[in-house]
Amino acid sequence: MSYNKEDLEAQSLSAINKHKLYFIDDVVAYLPCSRATFYNLGLDKLDTIKDALHKVKTKKKVLLRDKWEESDNATLQVGLMKLLSSDDELRKLSMQTQEVKTEGDLNLNIKIIENGND
């Protein structure tokens, strides 16, 4: 069966927005074509489909972060703080820290040994 790429693209965009899909494989499940046809037509590489998936994911991430901020759950609040923290703040929040310091020059002697031909 022959499929029109533009029709499948439109159906993909519709499915992404209607069902709030996040992943390419989820999109394929809502199309009348096979997974192989979807990839053979290059629909997975279309910026329109990638952008639509990205927008759905971003909206969900913002919604979740808003819920975390309003929550009284300390675990969610710490998770949000870690997402928003600078590197220095993140180190201070971490339960484990490791700091490696070296002094002076590090001299390495590397000997190359060839196998076979001596």
Out of 3-7, 76-80, 102-106, pick the least confident.
Answer: 102-106
| Backbone φ, ψ for residue 117 (5° rounding) | -80, 105
Distance CA(92)–CA(71), nearest Å, equals 23
Q: Which pLDDT belongs to residue 56?
A: 97
Question: What 3 state SS string does 61-117 have?
Answer: HHHHHHHHHHCCCHHHHHHHHHHHCCHHHHHHHCCCCCCCCCCCCCCCCCCCCCCCC
What confidence score (pLDDT) does residue 73 get?
94
Full-model pTM: 0.69
Mean pLDDT, rounded, of the chain:
89
- Per-residue pLDDT tens digits for 30-87: 999 999 999 999 999 999 999 999 999 999 999 999 999 999 999 999 889 888 999 8
111 vs 4, residue with greater confidence: 4
pLDDT above 90 coverage of the chain, percent: 62
